[in-house]
Structure 1
Amino acid sequence: MAWMKRDAVEPHEDYGFFGPGSVVWKVWSYPTSLTVGFQRAVVVEELDPPLVAAVHGTQGIYTRPRTRYDRTLRYFAMVAFAGSHEVCKAADVLVKVHSKAVGRLPYSEGTYDANDPASQLWIQLTGWHSILYAYERYGPGKLTAEEEREYWEACALAAELQTCSPDDVPRDRAGIRAYFERMRPQLSASPIAQQAMKHLLRTELVLPPTPWWARPAGLVVARAQRVATIATMPRWMRAMAGIRQSRLLDALIVPVMKVSFALVHLNPALELLLLGRLSPSTVPVVAPMKLGVPPRREEVLTPAEARARYGFARPAEAHLDLRARQAERVLGDGRAPSEQGLIESETILGPLA
């Protein structure tokens, strides 16, 4: 296919916020990241009551599972690999997209808001932790102490692209563990959380239509990814969510996935081909890195430098008027929120249908 040829790949404008030699590129470029790591992140996230209320309120994962998966995975990859201007635009429009995800909590008093800093911090840390954990379990193994420090510093840097504060991001594994321990009493496997988690584990829902003769192979791959993702989840979390899997399967899937990912990683074109099955819109984001296509400007910026250069506000301060109007429409007037952010996002994150 044309997009797998190096000379046909569109270069990014710069290296974005990390670049070659960074631990982010080392971990996120391994095929564990945008498969098991990503799936684990979106599944575990649903245990947070405000977040799953927002997910349930929009219904996107049920009404358009393939495009929702595609767009979300594209954004994940953009943060790590895309150019700084492109990422800033995506982060900015994502605030608008999240502005429509407001409402009242279904199982307790209070409201939810997808732009709430606490929800955004939960998304950030579950995402970066899941990517790293999948790399350790099914990839090359643990990072060195120095690499791990760099990884969590990078996580804090990336948090500047969300409405949470980088100051709230732990800088080491002990801090991450302490954060999840603090969150544990707040987590809940409500009916809508269990529904969402089990739905998001069905990898086959995001695969494209295939000829009848190829469907069995697709189902085997989807099943293997499901088993591998569940095997990374703590048993207390599985019990809470009603997800069952034997210790034998947990053990057996490790060598299968380690060998499979290692073989795929030997061939960048094959990695892109398989990624295109899961998320076509993510391929142009990852291809320049995979195929060694240098950007137009070989520089790495910080989010603050990029915002100053391109004129974007910090996400926490962006689109406050729209966010207030959306909250008033939903919580004050009882009307459906505006689709403004979703419509604008199509040119950046991919089509909605």
Structure 2
Amino acid sequence: MSGDVGLFGPGSVTWRLHQEPILLLGGLRSLYLQALHPRAVTAVAQNSRYRADPWGRLTRTSAYVGTVIWGTTAEAEAAALRVRRMHARMRAVDPRTGEPFRIDEPGLLRWVHVAEVESFLTTAVRAGVRLTPAEIDGYYTEQLKAAELMGLDPATVPATADEVSAYYDETLPSLALSRDGVETALFLTVPSVPENWGGRAFRLGLTLGPTRWAYFGVAATAMAMLPPWARRLYGGLGLPTTDLTADLSARGLRFLLSTVLATIPRSLQVTPIREAALARAAAAAVL
């Protein structure tokens, strides 16, 4: 529908926030955070080919998030239905207890949702995006729509900053760094290079050269931006100045991204699905 601006729309905090390229860093932070939930990370490890196809999984996840944020209502609902149907067929086995479980358990879905939206928001704010407390709460409340798409009862999902903080406090006793968590975190920090990215010399250069070190710096920033309790679960990573240096790094990265993007054509700055959303919003405003 030409006038359908989707789940959120041009006046939403969500649209304002998700135009920020720095949210890519927030996505990486959320993966480090999600890996601290033993069942959640086991579900991924036993059902995903992320080690064999990490960039494909990243592309698919980014496409899903983009569709929920910028797509029409019908597009967002269709994308979520496909994911729910896929998850409904998947099972995993808890290596600690031997207990089989569904990967679409509400508790697991809620953890992934909260870790993701809190990481997006926290990363943006610490990188310099200015939001009032009311706007921060507004983002969490708006994201209840995304949680509902994944099959969660919105009444069970934290909808304000205080509720997110309380949720983390309640969940902390069940978090731990499991073997799957260690392997996932190591993979996030030193991911493999796709075989189709040129020849052996190119892959070797990417593995050992400046690009690898640049990515490692981004990964280190994402890890440093975790809450202190999460860093402690990873072994107490970071000095007392970690939060300050992480904020400076995130702000510098945001400035770098905005500078680089300003030099390239708009067609490369804005994804097609976001461009279509902006066009629908403009048409709706005229009507």
Gaps of 5+ in 1: 1-10, 276-282, 300-353
The alpha carbon displacement at 1:183 in A equals 0.5
Q: Across the two proteins, how many residue pairs are aligned to each other?
A: 278
Match runs of 1:50-65 below 5 Å: 50-65=39-54
Classify the secondary structure of the residue corresponding to 1:103.
strand
Question: Which is bigger in relative contact order (C-alpha 8 A, separation at least 6)?
Answer: 1
Q: Distance in 2 between matches of 1:203 and 1:15?
A: 36
Q: Say if 1:67 and 1:154 are closer, same or farther in 2 by CA, change over 3 A.
A: same
Tell me which residue corresponds to 1:161.
Answer: 149
Tell me which residue corresponds to 2:225.
Answer: 232
Tell me which residue corresponds to 2:20.
Answer: 30
Q: Quick check: 231-240 or 204-213, which moved more? A: 204-213
Match of 2:74 among 82, 85, 103: 85
The alpha carbon displacement at 1:69 in A equals 1.2
On the 8 A contact 2:144/2:154 being kept in 1, the answer is yes
On the 8 A contact 2:225/2:247 being kept in 1, the answer is no
Tell me which residue corresponds to 2:6.
Answer: 16
Classify the secondary structure of the residue corresponding to 1:15.
coil
On the 8 A contact 1:24/1:154 being kept in 2, the answer is yes
1:96 and 2:46 are equivalent in the alignment = no
Question: What code does the residue aligned with 2:86 have?
Answer: V
Classify the secondary structure of the residue corresponding to 1:63.
coil
Q: Distance in 2 between matches of 1:83 and 1:206?
A: 32
Q: 1:228-247, CA deviations, whole angstroms, 9 ceiling, x for partnerless residues?
A: 10111133322323473445
Match of 2:65 among 73, 76, 82: 76
Q: Say if 1:203 and 1:225 are closer, same or farther in 2 by CA, change over 3 A.
A: farther
Tell me which residue corresponds to 2:56.
Answer: 67
The alpha carbon displacement at 1:258 in A equals 1.1
Classify the secondary structure of the residue corresponding to 1:94.
helix
Match runs of 1:262-281 below 5 Å: 262-265=255-258, 267=261, 269=264, 273=268
Question: What code does the residue aligned with 1:17 have?
Answer: L
On the 8 A contact 1:16/1:83 being kept in 2, the answer is yes
Q: Distance in 1 between matches of 2:56 and 2:72?
A: 23
The alpha carbon displacement at 1:209 in A equals 2.6
Question: What code does the residue aligned with 2:227 have?
Answer: P
Classify the secondary structure of the residue corresponding to 1:177.
helix
Classify the secondary structure of the residue corresponding to 2:284.
coil
Using the size of structure 1 for normalisation, the TM-score is 0.69
Match runs of 1:194-233 below 5 Å: 194-202=182-190, 205=193, 209=197, 212=202, 215=206, 216-233=209-226
The alpha carbon displacement at 1:56 in A equals 1.2
Q: 1:261-311, CA deviations, whole angstroms, 9 ceiling, x for partnerless residues?
A: 134336465787589xxxxxxx4333445xx43369739xxxxxxxxxxxx
Q: Say if 1:261 and 1:163 are closer, same or farther in 2 by CA, change over 3 A.
A: same
1:286 and 2:279 are equivalent in the alignment = no
Tell me which residue corresponds to 2:237.
Answer: 244
Q: Distance in 2 between matches of 1:206 and 1:134?
A: 27
On the 8 A contact 2:38/2:180 being kept in 1, the answer is no
1:135 and 2:128 are equivalent in the alignment = no
On the 8 A contact 2:67/2:273 being kept in 1, the answer is yes
On the 8 A contact 2:189/2:216 being kept in 1, the answer is no
Gaps of 5+ in 2: none
1:176 and 2:175 are equivalent in the alignment = no
Tell me which residue corresponds to 1:152.
Answer: 140
On the 8 A contact 2:225/2:246 being kept in 1, the answer is no
Q: Say if 1:263 and 1:190 are closer, same or farther in 2 by CA, change over 3 A.
A: closer
The alpha carbon displacement at 1:132 in A equals 0.3
Q: Quick check: 199-208 or 59-68, which moved more? A: 199-208
Q: Say if 1:175 and 1:295 are closer, same or farther in 2 by CA, change over 3 A.
A: closer
Q: Distance in 1 between matches of 2:265 and 2:33?
A: 29
On the 8 A contact 2:54/2:191 being kept in 1, the answer is no
Using the size of structure 2 for normalisation, the TM-score is 0.84
Match runs of 1:325-340 below 5 Å: none
RMSD, aligned CA: 3.1
The alpha carbon displacement at 1:49 in A equals 2.2
On the 8 A contact 2:224/2:231 being kept in 1, the answer is no
Q: 1:36-85, CA deviations, whole angstroms, 9 ceiling, x for partnerless residues?
A: 11111122112222211211112411121110111112212221111211
Tell me which residue corresponds to 2:247.
Answer: 254
The alpha carbon displacement at 1:13 in A equals 7.3
Q: Distance in 2 between matches of 1:271 and 1:245?
A: 38
The alpha carbon displacement at 1:133 in A equals 0.5
